[in-house]
Structure 1
Amino acid sequence: MNRRHALRAAAVATSLAASLSLALTGCSTKGGDSAGSTDKSGFRTGPGITKDKINVGVLTDLSGPVAPLGKSALQAEQLYLKQVNAAGGVCGRSVELMVRDHGLDVQKAVSAYAEVEPQVAALGQLSGSAQTAALLDSIEKDKLQSFQIGASGTVLGNPHLRLMASTYDIDMVNGVGFLVKAAKLKKGDKVGHVYIEGEYGGNAAEGAKYAASKAGLTLVSQTVKPTDKDLTAQVTALRAAGVKAIVFSGVPAQTASLVGVAAATGLKVPVLASAPAYVPQLLATPAKPALEKMLYVASPWPALSVDDPSVKKLVVDYSQAYPKDPVNQAAQAGNAAGSLLVGTLKAACEAKDLSREGISKALRGLTAYSEGFHGPQNFSDPAKASSTKTYIAQPSAGVPGGLKQIQDATEDPELAGYLASNGH
């Protein structure tokens, strides 16, 4: 059993446990109404669809470890839908969000899902890899098309769950390829590998380990919990091992500790981080100089400072709508989620089928969708990521999103072998 399948098995086990918990507490959802009804004109509708509204759920982190990212993604999608509704909505209806905060807590996510599922046509945002894993069985039973913010490859292959752009493991394969060149790494070099326990970190680790093995690098691994804030112990171990670079998949508060402590103790080596590990607020911490010099971010999204009309429009619109909240890359994910949701609903409307089955079928018909994205995305196969390219950026104060782009969307030569080895 390869690591992806092992992680998938663990996700299924978590999901089954959560489903059992729901059943025992009498909170299980009812998927039998998902087929909807058909009016005299042959137009099908389903749960969450009224004469003037399309109700869509959002389950995200607004109070936990990645709340700055969750808030930004939510606000960007709300802004996108506000603009769509002002222009007439979709299928003569406004698209309305029912938002629930799970705080990156699995049981809260399960409870929130049970509450909103009967009332919505889709989940327009679902964040948190562990939370998503716990809901997989319910999502498939209820045939509730869900758009995940944050992309663990372990959940690929579920017909009613759709990831957007590249996954954490893909970004790590592509990112380590960049790191080898940036840090001038050679076969036999030791590279620190710090990752958060759970679906997110585990999936990123899968890609990092594959890329490191292909480059002949020796990984010195350290795991952290989502609630850990002081990474001094991990840095001390990596420094003692003599690592030449560090690969990191954690949350923003941990990034400041990792990079700041490394720099302060003389371990001034390049650090490659997964996208959820960075927010521009980190540049207001004492770690700012080290972050600007040492950190690189591997992301499915371009830096918000690039000279691209759609990116510039997003930055201007978001900054005007939320002047007190600094824009970050999660806003791109939220904007893309809104765009993909609307594109899917429009296609379903054209097919005269806004039932849950109709919405899922409409999504799978989008084989080269680009609005809200940076390059065509293929959503026809739930078992495959819609994109296999990764951007590399570096922290920089004074620019939108606090990142400057170092490398455009790139697919590392080793990625094809990785995808093949994992059945993708």
Structure 2
Amino acid sequence: MIDRRRRLAALAGGLAAGLVLAACGSTADSSSSGSGAGGIKTGEGVTDTTITLGVMGDRTGVFKNLGDALIGGNELWVKDVNAAGGICGRQLALEIVDHGYKADTAKTLYPQLEPKVLGIVQLLGSPVLAALKQNLIDDNVSAAPASWSSEILNNPNIMMIGTTYDLEIVDGLSYLQQQGLIADGDTIGHIYIDGEYGGNGLRGSQYYASQHDLTVQEAKITSTDNDLTNIMTGFRGAGVKAIVLTTTPGQTASAMANNAALGLNVPVLGNNPTFDPALLDSPAAAALDQLYVAASSAPFSSETPKAAEVAAEYKATYPNSPVNAGAQAGYVEGLVWQAVLERACLNGDLTRAGVQTALKSLTSVTTEDLVAPLDYSVPGAPPTRGVYIAKVDPNAEGGLTEVAPLFTAPEAAGYKAPHQQS
């Protein structure tokens, strides 16, 4: 992240300039494009005192537990930044809306939110991102997606936080093979939701299979299919040695229960949204011991110092909220936005165009190992290729124990994302 001394200097400069303006009798906020406090160019969502960012999350849909934790992480980041003096002489504020993981609801909410914000610190869900893609481009709104499909990286306004679903699977399968759980020539199964999320995870399986002579048994489902018995029975007949899931947590429960009941008992690898700690209280709880999860951000129980700090702050602030890795993921969304805003401040431009310029200039955003260092300078490329590998553990807070810290598979280096330009 930008050097601390430069941040403090920029902050001090903004405050000093604000005092000069006050001495001259200027108290008006600057909300339209023009010069604001500190001589900073401003536009939508930015006044002399406040930078407002949007959140389009899920508090009532199929990912509501993850969504609540993500929003909690966003809010903790805002609290911490404001307590330290804000950014560019301004305090941060969030405008939060709940789309319930419904694209049509998001389309209705977006026009109400867009004029109020500089950008979006969290935009959850592949269907929602697909529905709003052109809106983001037309309005030049930068958004950090709580969705990790590499298919969306052809949108210049996307600020990907971490790696993508396809690379999560490449890394995860490589980890399983390094552990001796699969071998070249094996058959694996992949259950995936029809759409961008599921299809992108499948892309990772197909790529890894091409590198290791694996056969992939593909099973496409919808987001509302919750009984996977027939698919798992088919996998048993095909002799799969491992199963990959790009599914909802409820579908993960069905797959894991059948993995045990049908006697497969093979390792199962899931993308980061496939697990919810609530599964530990479900009928499938006893069958979750074979589930591995590949994710860009650290599990809630991680002993990485920053992850542990965020976890403690989250529990103290939200004692009755869901405990899962969304807390750290939401916080790190904020940290990346912080790096972008600090660079934009140094550039003297807190407009939406200024945010875009700042983002594309960042080649190594660090987040104290909440995610791997991020490089936004290559159009269409995932900003990192590293993940944490975790395994279900009912004794761990958040239900996952880290088994591989910031793991990057050798195969991941050679993978070219769909819209990667170099």
Bigger mean CA deviation after superposition, 83-92 or 208-217:
83-92
Equivalent residue number for residue 359 of structure 1: 355
Cα offset for 1:365? 2.6
Cα offset for 1:98? 0.9
Query: What SS is found at the alignment partner of 1:162?
Result: coil
Equivalent residue number for residue 21 of structure 1: none
Equivalent residue number for residue 57 of structure 1: 54
Aligned letter for 1:331?
Answer: A
Bigger mean CA deviation after superposition, 123-132 or 402-411:
402-411
Equivalent residue number for residue 253 of structure 2: 256
Quick one: which of 147, 151, 161 aligns to 1:150? 147
Bigger mean CA deviation after superposition, 113-122 or 372-381:
372-381
Quick one: which of 381, 392, 396 aligns to 1:395? 392
- 2:416 matched to 1:419? yes
Instruction: Note the 1:5-404 alignment, pairs <5 A.
Output: 36-39=33-36, 42-182=39-179, 184-292=181-289, 294-371=290-367, 373-404=370-401
Query: What SS is found at the alignment partner of 2:82?
Result: helix
Bigger mean CA deviation after superposition, 282-291 or 385-394:
282-291
Unaligned runs of 5+ in 2: 1-30
Query: What SS is found at the alignment partner of 2:286?
Result: helix
**C-alpha distance after superposition, 1:67-115 (max 9, x if no partner):** 1111110111111101212232222222111111111111111221121
CA distance in 2, matches of 1:382, 1:94: 31
Equivalent residue number for residue 6 of structure 1: none
Cα offset for 1:366? 2.4
- Is the 8 Å Cα contact of residues 68 and 322 (structure 2) preserved in structure 1? no
Q: CA 1:75/1:40 → structure 2, altered by over 3 Å: closer, same or farther?
A: closer
- Is the 8 Å Cα contact of residues 42 and 352 (structure 1) preserved in structure 2? yes
Cα offset for 1:346? 2.2
CA distance in 1, matches of 2:115, 2:151: 26
Cα offset for 1:226? 1.1
- Matched residues, percent identical? 38
CA distance in 1, matches of 2:313, 2:39: 39
CA distance in 2, matches of 1:305, 1:117: 35
CA distance in 1, matches of 2:41, 2:231: 56
Aligned residue pairs, count: 390
- Is the 8 Å Cα contact of residues 65 and 251 (structure 1) preserved in structure 2? yes
Aligned letter for 1:209?
Answer: Q
Cα offset for 1:35? 8.4
**C-alpha distance after superposition, 1:150-183 (max 9, x if no partner):** 2100011322211111100011111111223445
- Is the 8 Å Cα contact of residues 319 and 326 (structure 1) preserved in structure 2? no
Q: CA 1:136/1:246 → structure 2, altered by over 3 Å: closer, same or farther?
A: same
TM-score, length-normalised on structure 2? 0.87
Cα offset for 1:126? 0.8
CA distance in 2, matches of 1:41, 1:70: 36
Cα offset for 1:242? 2.1
Aligned letter for 2:217?
Answer: V
Q: CA 1:265/1:368 → structure 2, altered by over 3 Å: closer, same or farther?
A: same
CA distance in 1, matches of 2:32, 2:151: 28
Aligned letter for 2:119?
Answer: A
TM-score, length-normalised on structure 1? 0.87
Equivalent residue number for residue 9 of structure 1: none
Equivalent residue number for residue 6 of structure 2: none
RMSD, aligned α-carbons: 2.0
CA distance in 2, matches of 1:280, 1:40: 45
Deviating above 6 A after TM superposition, structure 1's stretches of 4 or more consecutive aligned residues are none
Query: What SS is found at the alignment partner of 2:123?
Result: strand
CA distance in 1, matches of 2:339, 2:361: 11
Cα offset for 1:247? 0.8
- Is the 8 Å Cα contact of residues 158 and 382 (structure 1) preserved in structure 2? no
Cα offset for 1:334? 0.3
**C-alpha distance after superposition, 1:262-314 (max 9, x if no partner):** 2012121110111100121211223222212x111111122332322111101
Aligned letter for 2:363?
Answer: T
CA distance in 2, matches of 1:100, 1:347: 27
Q: CA 1:77/1:357 → structure 2, altered by over 3 Å: closer, same or farther?
A: same
Bigger mean CA deviation after superposition, 202-211 or 101-110:
101-110
- Is the 8 Å Cα contact of residues 302 and 391 (structure 1) preserved in structure 2? yes
Equivalent residue number for residue 20 of structure 1: none
Cα offset for 1:188? 3.4
Aligned letter for 1:189?
Answer: D
Bigger mean CA deviation after superposition, 364-373 or 260-269:
364-373
**C-alpha distance after superposition, 1:123-160 (max 9, x if no partner):** 11111112112212111111111111121000113222
- Is the 8 Å Cα contact of residues 166 and 388 (structure 1) preserved in structure 2? yes
